Structure 1
Amino acid sequence: MSCVHVHATVKLRPPRSTDERPETTDLRLKWGAGGGEIAVGSRGTVQPYPSFNPHHDAENLRNSMKGLGTNEDTIIDLLTSRANFQRQYIIQSFKSSYDQSLIEELKSELGGHFESVVEGLMLTPGKFDAKELNDAMAGPGTDEHILVEILVSRTNRQLWELAEAYQSDNAMSLKDALESENSGEFENLLLALLKGKRDEGYNVDQSQVKVDAQELFAAGEDKWGTDETKFIKIFCRRNFTHLRRVFEEYYQLTNKDIEDSIKDEMSGTLQMGMLAIVQYVKNPAGFFAKKLYESMAGAGTDDRSLIRIIISRSEIDMMDIKIQFLRLYGKTLFSFIQDDVGGDFQKILLCLCGMNEDE
């Protein structure tokens, strides 16, 4: 088995009519407003496939599942060398040609964690995140770490699409679900992140940096008790470049790292959430490298987190995550996965994280 990963600018024919377009906003954005040229991101390990033919791919997938047994290698090679928006076309083509749900057909042929990865790859990013959040809140307890990881690391547009997907797939809005499962300032933090109101530019106003650092100091270290609302507003609204300067200014002002102040001033899930924001702002790839390491370190594997992070970052910044993983732990992510899981589950994860260990 070999994994095909293309790093190039790809030109594809846009759909001839709106009827041909998958119903996801995510895919419409890929095509842009007026043309078929797609500028491929440079830091993902999964890239759009050139000379893409969804009908041909749908036929190959059907052939891999016909008769006795399943050709898992074909499924792995094909799905890990197509971008998510291309997989949505394959789903439509499969339905059009065979009047069957490709996702359901794949699920009926596969099993275990391998099936979970394949299903995750076939969902749009918004629906995948919505499913992860729903699972995190299902049952008697809530996995707050998953809520924070997803809401902290998604762009404004991704958050809007996530909320829309959650609403369409569940009996309540994501806002209502978060309110029913959480409370206090941690709930306020999650809802502030969900609004998707962050400045996503790169401009830094040094005078505002000083104001923000002073306000954080006044809201925490310089008073009895803590004004969590001030922390939440600044952390959830400012752009990342600005926040990094605020953290530097805060250290100059207090001779204390912002993370240490959060540890002193806050506790429980709120502390966890605020620290996650700081750590992601400081080093997004390092944030996910640490989470991947924790999912595989020690006895047992947190397969759910391993799958979620590799799928969600494979088209965004997996190359950077691999670099940070090696820097932090002295071992490649590739070799860590090889040692931790096996079979087709291992094969598909290795293809998604990139077979070239030097990346």
Structure 2
Amino acid sequence: MSTLSVPPVPTSPRDDAIALYRAFKGFGCDTAAVVNILAHRDATQRALIQQEYRVMYSDDILKRLSSELSGKLETSVLLWMHDPVGRDAIVVKQGLSSETKNLQAATEVICSRTPTQIQCFKQLYHSRFGVPLEHDIEMQASGDHKKLLLAYVSTPRYEGLEFDREITAKDSKALFKAGEKKLGTDEKTFIHIFSERSRAQLAAIISAYHDMYGNSLKKAVKGETSGLFEYALLTILSCSENPARYFAKVLHKAMKGLGTDDTTLIRVIVTRTEIDMQYIKAEYLKKYKKTLNDAVHSETSGHYRTFLLSLLGPNR
């Protein structure tokens, strides 16, 4: 469920384009006005604003925003201007580019999305950047991490809630044999099961593994693998059980301790606002006894803070 609040009576994209043009005009930018408009428009409205702005002023509003805003606010707003599929494609492309390489971010997006979401952003990725997603994974990732990502983006998986008990028992045994039972690890088995099984099937495997061997599959993954391969496997596992809880943990980690990991904070809040942020907020409160809004408020400031809090909606 989305946390985005839009005006009860929609404003016309033309009026918004005019208001934004006025906010850009003169000395300095009326940043408060820009934030107030864009943080309260859904993906369709934002796309229409971009069209109107181009028609009326023969100018690209994204370029204009880039020149008028700066720092973390600029990063947040520019990512927000795209629709959810476009944002996923952009985050993954930046993560797989030599100049802005962030394999963890690319891995998070790929391994936390449903097969349908992956197919959608794969198509957009190819048309927008001129290369298939697999090509960039091949170039930038390595080893078992690369093999898992390639398998994960190209395997169609069932998205329903049903699972097969026989497969559950068989896969649990296979994972135990491939990991805890042997010296060394048979990574191929982990890649095969994690990339081919549905979320419901993996959730059932987590439960069966614990019943059969008295240990958690997550602990087994942590003991048997490392680095980005481990990170990818754990992301797939966590999202098979509860994606909202997974993102609540990612956000908490980004704000824990000294300093804030703003890159992660922006990525998760901006990409999940229109998807499942209500659930993430509920999980955050349940796990950390503090609202996500309060945590973000204490870690950010200025228009950047206002923008993120606007996306998060009321503090409850």
Identify whether the pair has TM-score above 0.5, normalized to the shorter chain.
yes
Contact 1:220/1:261, CA 8 A, preserved across alignment: yes
List aligned pairs for 1:89-168, cutoff 5 A: 89-139=48-98, 142-168=101-127
The alpha-carbon deviation at position 51 of structure 1 amounts to 4.4
Contact 1:48/1:86, CA 8 A, preserved across alignment: no
Distance change >3 Å, CA 224–CA 133, structure 1 → 2: same
The alpha-carbon deviation at position 150 of structure 1 amounts to 0.5
Task: Give aligned-pair identity as a percent.
Answer: 33
**Matching of residue 279 in structure 1 with residue 238 in structure 2:** yes
Question: What residue is the counterpart of 1:86 in the other structure?
Answer: 45
**Matching of residue 320 in structure 1 with residue 274 in structure 2:** no
2: CA distance, partners of 1:218 / 1:64: 63
Name which structure has the greater RCO, CA cutoff 8 Å, separation 6+: 2
The one-character-per-residue Cα deviations of 1:213-268 (angstroms, maximum 9, x if unpaired) are 22222332334443322222222232222221111111111111101111222223
Q: With structure 2 as the length reference, what TM-score do the two structures score? A: 0.92
Question: What residue is the counterpart of 1:6 in the other structure?
Answer: none
List aligned pairs for 1:169-318, cutoff 5 A: 169-170=128-129, 172-195=131-154, 197-318=156-277
Question: What residue is the counterpart of 2:30 in the other structure?
Answer: 71
The alpha-carbon deviation at position 308 of structure 1 amounts to 0.7
2: CA distance, partners of 1:116 / 1:141: 13
Question: What residue is the counterpart of 1:330 in the other structure?
Answer: 289
2: CA distance, partners of 1:238 / 1:57: 45
The alpha-carbon deviation at position 57 of structure 1 amounts to 1.9
1: CA distance, partners of 2:222 / 2:57: 56
Question: What is the letter of the counterpart of residue 337 of structure 1?
Answer: V
Structure 1 residue runs of 4 or more that deviate by more than 4 Å after TM superposition: 47-51
Q: With structure 1 as the length reference, what TM-score do the two structures score? A: 0.81
Structure 1 gaps of 5+ residues are: 1-42
**Matching of residue 45 in structure 1 with residue 6 in structure 2:** no
The one-character-per-residue Cα deviations of 1:172-200 (angstroms, maximum 9, x if unpaired) are 33211111112221111111222252211
The one-character-per-residue Cα deviations of 1:39-88 (angstroms, maximum 9, x if unpaired) are xxxx1101565543222222222222223332222222221221112211
Question: What is the letter of the counterpart of residue 285 of structure 2?
Answer: L
Distance change >3 Å, CA 241–CA 122, structure 1 → 2: same
Aligned length: 315
2: CA distance, partners of 1:205 / 1:47: 40
2: CA distance, partners of 1:317 / 1:184: 32
Structure 2 gaps of 5+ residues are: none
2: CA distance, partners of 1:238 / 1:180: 26
1: CA distance, partners of 2:216 / 2:100: 33
2: CA distance, partners of 1:76 / 1:268: 38
1: CA distance, partners of 2:179 / 2:28: 62
The alpha-carbon deviation at position 111 of structure 1 amounts to 1.3
The alpha-carbon deviation at position 142 of structure 1 amounts to 4.3
2: CA distance, partners of 1:118 / 1:215: 46
2: CA distance, partners of 1:325 / 1:143: 25
Question: What is the letter of the counterpart of residue 46 of structure 1?
Answer: L
The one-character-per-residue Cα deviations of 1:303-352 (angstroms, maximum 9, x if unpaired) are 11111110000011111111221222222111111111110000000011
List aligned pairs for 1:57-68, cutoff 5 A: 57-68=16-27
The alpha-carbon deviation at position 120 of structure 1 amounts to 0.7
SS in 2 for 1:298: coil
Q: Relative to total residues, which structure has the larger helix share, 1 or 2?
A: 2
